[in-house]
Amino acid sequence: MGATSPVWRTVFVLLGLAYFAGAIVLFVFAESIATLPAAVRADNPWPWAIGPLALRFVAALGFTATATALLTAWRPDGPTVRAAITLTLVISVLFLMHLLVHAGDVNWTKPLAWVWAGVVCVALVFSVLGLFATRRTAGERELRLPPTPRFAQAVNIFIFFLTGLVGGTMFLLPGVG
């Protein structure tokens, strides 16, 4: 299965839709999912201490992943697919490291803890498998990318600023959330 296979287009469209659904749930229901302040939200489903604004920041990362997946589906050439899979691999490793470092802070009695750990591990395994599936062949030595569509550039810039705005607000103005 080469990187230009239509299968990759389908894979990245499905990933984009899954990321979008998860981000929408986190963003819209942040007040019902977040666990801080503990006196009010201790029984909510998130498995570790997190406030609603931080959860919306996680949702913004989900929207970024949505844009990345759909833009990759739009142009599923070899270098673009490998770059997207590599990004997913790096983020999966970082999420897994975060989970392992803070394993003692996670409430493992909540089912969402196991769902989160499972999703991170599955993303890591499938990223590694995806990299093997798209490894370069002898005929792909030179990297020629088609020009990036203007719409894709605009979406990436918008998501970049949206993520920065939400993250900056979370860190600089925590009382706003």
Is residue 14 scored above 50 in pLDDT? yes
Confidence of residue 144 (pLDDT cuts 50, 70, 90): low
30, 63, 67, 71 from 151: Cα distances, Å:
30, 16, 11, 10
Query: Cis peptide leading into 37, omega within 30 of 0?
Result: yes
Helix (H) or strand (E) holding 98: helix 78-101
pTM beyond 0.85, yes or no: no
Q: Which token pair is 158?
A: 């918008």
Longest dimension (CA), the chain: 61
Domains of the chain, by residue range, sit at 6-134+148-172
Give 19-77 pLDDT, tens digit per residue: 999 999 999 999 899 888 888 888 888 898 888 888 898 898 889 899 999 989 988 88
Euclidean distance between CA atoms 52 and 37, whole angstroms:
9
Which structure tokens are listed for 65? 């992943």
